[in-house]
Chain A
Amino acid sequence: MQKVWDGSNWVTQNALKVWNGSAWVTNAKLKARTSISWLPTAVSDGDISQVVKWSIEAPTPPPPPPPVTHIVPDLDLKTTTELNDILTPLNFGYTIAGYETTSILNRDDKVVIDSQIPAAGEALAEGSSVSVKLYNFVQPTTIVPNVGGLLKSAADSAIVAANLVVGSPLDTVETYDGTLVGKVVIGSQYPAAGTEWDQGTSVVYDYYVQKPYVTVPNLVNTDEDNIYTTLSPLNLSVGTRTTVATANAALDGLIKSTTPVAGTQVQTNSSVNYEVYTNTLSTVPSLVGLTQAQADAALQNANLYSGTVSNIETTVVANEGKVATQAVAAGQTVNKFSGINYAVYVPNTTIAVPQFVGLTFQQASDALTTAELSGNPTLFYTNDANLYLKVKSQSPAAGTIVNINSVINIEIYAPYPTYTVPSIIGQTPSSGAINTNFTWGSNTLASTSTQTTSDFGKVASQSPMANSQAQAQAINYGIYVDGRPTVGSYVGQARTTAVTSIQNLGLNASVTYQNQSYNGQATADTVASQSPASGTKLTSGSTVSIVVWNAYVPQPVTRYATVYVGDNAFSGYMKNGVNTSYTGGLLDFSWQAQYKLLNGAGTRVQNIGYQRMSGAYVGYASATNGKQAYTCRINPTNIDSYIKSNITNNAAYTVGTVDFVFSVGNDGNNGKLWYLDWMGNSTSSPTTYTDGNRTNTQAVSGINNGDTMSITLNSTMKTYSWTNGYGLGVAAGVTASNASVTYGSINWAYFAAQISWTEYV
């Protein structure tokens, strides 16, 4: 069973059909030629065959051949019939994707412009369809706009914009309202706003136009009776009538004015208000200075009559009985037959109180007399001298009408009274009254120092001063405060500075001295302590005690040291237990030598400096060598120089015991007897040294081999060998026999001198 590619899919081909010469048959066995044979081949019955089956998927099929395409023609505004005619030859179809409404009748059922997909000019495979839209004609309508209230031009534009037509004719409505002129009357349009109508329908409306005005005629000074006949023909009406009273009889009944005034443009049927004169007034005559009878006659002549006649008191006799004032001034107009009030002078019984305030007392007294009044003066105290004896106030007030001879109360400015100021000095401050006129003030004055302790806190000063004259008031004061000097801190200060400071306080200084217990404790002549302590208050003249350090006095101290002088292994200096080795210098032997005393004449057999001597034999060794001697010498000048250089300030020192120390070699027998000799004063070893040169000054006995002998030099040996620097010899005695025990040797030797000196610390 094979699969066959039909161009788009693999389809099962169950069997091939084969023409067998007379018919197409299926499942026919075919033979195929291989490189070996035709298949299938016959297999004998004695053989076997084995079927092997497998499946094979198809290879990826080849891509289908590209379709035949044509350029899509422009189908705009084509009918469906035309579409078939155009597209069928191209093996295209078409589909209608939808409809679009059109108001153009001749586009109905035609292809919408630019609606085709694919667009014109694009390639399209055969068998494909072009999608198009078709027009659907629908009669267009529009919504009638609302033109009410619009200017006519705007209304027309709105109607045209809505695809409508402005109707004709249009009615007008007259109006005086300038804001409406030229605008469409609201609610007048037809069809009504918001309704839907076919486009092109006429819309009519009413609009406002200007209504004409009327000119007001001139009616002034015309008879009021003619006003209606004048205004009516002009479509004006008579408005409000207002009368204007006049004392001029000639004007009675004439029009005084109109509102609006003549020449004014007014709306039709407007009212014209007017004023008309009426003669209802009289002119008041002058009555002042006339007698009452004269006044009454004058009023009568003027169509007036006398009103209430009142009296006015006067102190002028000539005026009595005459008109003093009239209620309506002469020349004023009043209604005819009005009563005119006036006043007539009569003798006075009252007086208007004059103005006294600000006058001097004398001026006020004069004014009182003139006004037939009496005064009741009282005093008012002030510190302003400019006001003294002037009137401060009055009662009753100026202008008050009082009976003549009334009493007028007058306040007169006067200076305050003064009193003798009491003394509050020495009193304890208090409050409240001091006496009738003075009270305790406050502590505002400067305080006063005092050393009187009982005055502390009491009044020391006052203001105002005691016994002075002053107005009653509070007395301020100052008090006594502690004015005693305060002791300062003087410890550590120089004595003179401290004493000056104390004296400057008005105090006395008492100075004592104190020794220092060790050097550096304090600076000499400075204050060690004080009494009383800093801050104490003392009365002037009191004493402040200070203790002052004495200068420190150095104390003598005895120092000890041991000076070693020998060969280069021993030289040194021991002080305070510390030994300082000193090699090859001032503390070395200046020389060492060995002599054979009996060989020849004391021959020197070794001569060296400070180095260790070998084979330094002493005593009788043999007939060949005879007696032998060891010698050495120190240089006292060098030693003295060295010691002083190691003592503070090169102080003098004392040499105590001087030991000569030597090590006995293992030669000869024990129990040796040697002598220490002092030799001549020579800075170098002598070439000869004989028994004759020897002194046998200090015997050293009991010398055993291996001993270290420390021999304290006697005074002679010390003087010669240490002090004078003579050579020191060690040898058997001068008279020692050869048989005596003297033979031996010295390994090394040195001097050990005890020195002491005094230092001050």
Chain B
Amino acid sequence: MKIYGVSTTRGGAITNNNYTNIAATGQDNGLNYHYWYPVAIPTGTNSLFTGITTSQVDAIVTPYSITNADNTAALVQERMILIHNDSAQTKNNVKVLISDQQLTGGVAEITPWNLAGTEEIQGYSSIEVLTTMPTDYRVDKAYFKANFPTNGPVETSKQISISMAPWGWYAAALRLYVVKDQAVEEDFCVIATETS
């Protein structure tokens, strides 16, 4: 299994911005869309998420709370990530989850694009998996057409359980909330897959 971030160009820099802020790549059948290309998630601080400033923290009225089912008020950043079955075998029980994080300063949550027929990645009505070489959906060939807009409800989920076909792809959102308690110079989370 592999986890990727997205870029607007093949082999380009990871999109270090809320994908809803990126200008549309084009329009098709009346819908705007983005083309996304999988790129490795860099490990440096603030390389996927940008640093969160004091003014952003101060602007949050209701900080993230684990008991709050709707923490949208504390949402500060939202990134697309891609889960890829980089094998020729079907993976029937794949979990994608935040395996660890500091839970101080910022809280990351992962959300499937589609769960129980509901588009969860806010703004996209559909995501098409495309390839530059038919039938070959490996990482250097695959790209994605994410169509929008749709303002569907944000039903957060902290764990994704999916079944992935050989070389299959799954789109999810990685969201960063702020708990507004203190400064953290190097906050982190760990995104992990768990197969059985």
Contact = CB atoms under 8 A, between A and B. Distances in A.
Contacts of A53: 43-47, 186-188
Interface size class of B (residues with CB under 8 A): 35 or more
A55 B158 contact: no
Contacts of A37: 97, 159
Given A10-B183, A54-B48, A60-B58, A36 B159 contact: yes
B50 A54 contact: yes
A52 B191 contact: yes
Contacts of B191: 49-50, 52
A1 B54 contact: no
A59 interface: yes
Interface in A41-96: 41, 43-44, 46-60
A46 B176 CA distance: 27
Given A32-B103, A39-B100, A40-B100, A52 B48 contact: yes
Interface stretch (B22-30, B104-112, B127-135): B104-112
B21 interface: no
Contacts of A553: none
A34 interface: yes
A3 interface: yes
A60 B53 CA distance: 10
Contact of B2 (A35, A43, A48, A57): A48
B50 to A, nearest CB: 7
B188 to A, nearest CB: 5
A4 B105 CA distance: 11
Given A32-B103, A54-B49, A54-B106, A47 B184 contact: no
A5 interface: yes
Nearest to A49: B192
Nearest to B68: A35
Contacts, number: 141
Interface string B45-76: 11111111110111000000011000000000
A60 B181 CA distance: 10
B120 to A, nearest CB: 16
A55 B187 contact: yes
A2 interface: yes
Given A1-B184, A52-B48, A58 B1 contact: no
A123 to B, nearest CB: 32
Contacts of B121: none
B69 to A, nearest CB: 8
B194 A54 contact: no
B165 interface: no
Contacts of B158: 34-36
A502 B68 CA distance: 143
Given A36-B159, A48-B193, A50-B3, A55 B99 contact: no
Nearest to B40: A50
A60 B184 CA distance: 14
Interface string A684-725: 000000000000000000000000000000000000000000
A498 B169 CA distance: 143
A37 B66 CA distance: 12
A48 B1 contact: yes
Given A3-B182, A3-B185, A49-B191, A54 B99 contact: no
A235 B179 CA distance: 124
Given A34-B103, A48-B192, A52-B189, A2 B98 contact: no
Contact of A3 (B1, B44, B45, B184): B184
A66 B49 CA distance: 38
B99 A43 contact: yes
| Residue of B58, B103, B104, B185 most packed against chain A (CB within 10 A) | B185
A58 B2 contact: no
Contact of A50 (B52, B181, B185, B190): B190
Contacts of B48: 52, 54
Given A35-B158, A39-B98, A56 B184 contact: yes
Interface size class of A (residues with CB under 8 A): 20 to 34
Nearest to A29: B100
A57 B181 CA distance: 10
| Residue of A43, A54, A55, A59 most packed against chain B (CB within 10 A) | A54
A41 B100 contact: yes
B195 interface: yes
A407 B45 CA distance: 161
A58 B182 CA distance: 5
B101 interface: yes
Interface string B140-172: 000000000000000000110000000000000
B178 interface: yes
Contacts of A57: 51-54, 56-57, 183
A1 B186 CA distance: 6
B54 A59 contact: yes
B74 to A, nearest CB: 12
Contact of A54 (B45, B57, B183): B45
Contacts of A48: 1-3, 192-193
Given A34-B66, A57-B52, A5 B194 contact: no
Nearest to B157: A36
Given A55-B51, A55-B187, A47 B57 contact: no
A52 B49 contact: yes
Contact of B99 (A2, A3, A35, A40): A40
Contact of B97 (A41, A44, A51, A56): A41
Nearest to A10: B183
Nearest to A56: B105
B186 A52 contact: no
Contacts of A58: 54, 57, 182-183
Nearest to B44: A53
Nearest to A32: B103
A50 B51 contact: no
Contact of A2 (B47, B56, B176, B184): B184
B174 interface: yes
Nearest to B63: A59
| Residue of B174, B183, B187 most packed against chain A (CB within 10 A) | B183
A281 to B, nearest CB: 136
A43 to B, nearest CB: 5
A728 to B, nearest CB: 110
A494 B181 CA distance: 133
Nearest to A13: B182
A44 B195 contact: yes
Contact of B193 (A3, A10, A47, A60): A47
A44 B98 CA distance: 14
A58 B57 CA distance: 7
Contacts of B34: none
A55 B46 contact: yes
A5 to B, nearest CB: 7
B187 A39 contact: no
A41 B195 contact: no
A480 B147 CA distance: 140
A50 B41 contact: yes
B104 A2 contact: yes
Interface string A370-385: 0000000000000000
Contacts of B44: 53
A88 to B, nearest CB: 38
Contacts of B183: 2-3, 10, 56-58
12 contacts: A2-B185, A12-B185, A43-B194, A52-B48, A52-B108, A52-B190, A53-B45, A53-B186, A55-B52, A56-B183, A57-B56, A59-B182
Given A39-B99, A50-B192, 5 more contacts: A2-B183, A5-B182, A35-B67, A47-B193, A52-B188
Interface of A: 1-5, 10, 12, 32-37, 39-41, 43-44, 46-60
Q: Which 6 A-B pairs have the closest CB atoms?
A: A40-B100, A58-B183, A49-B192, A56-B105, A54-B49, A3-B183
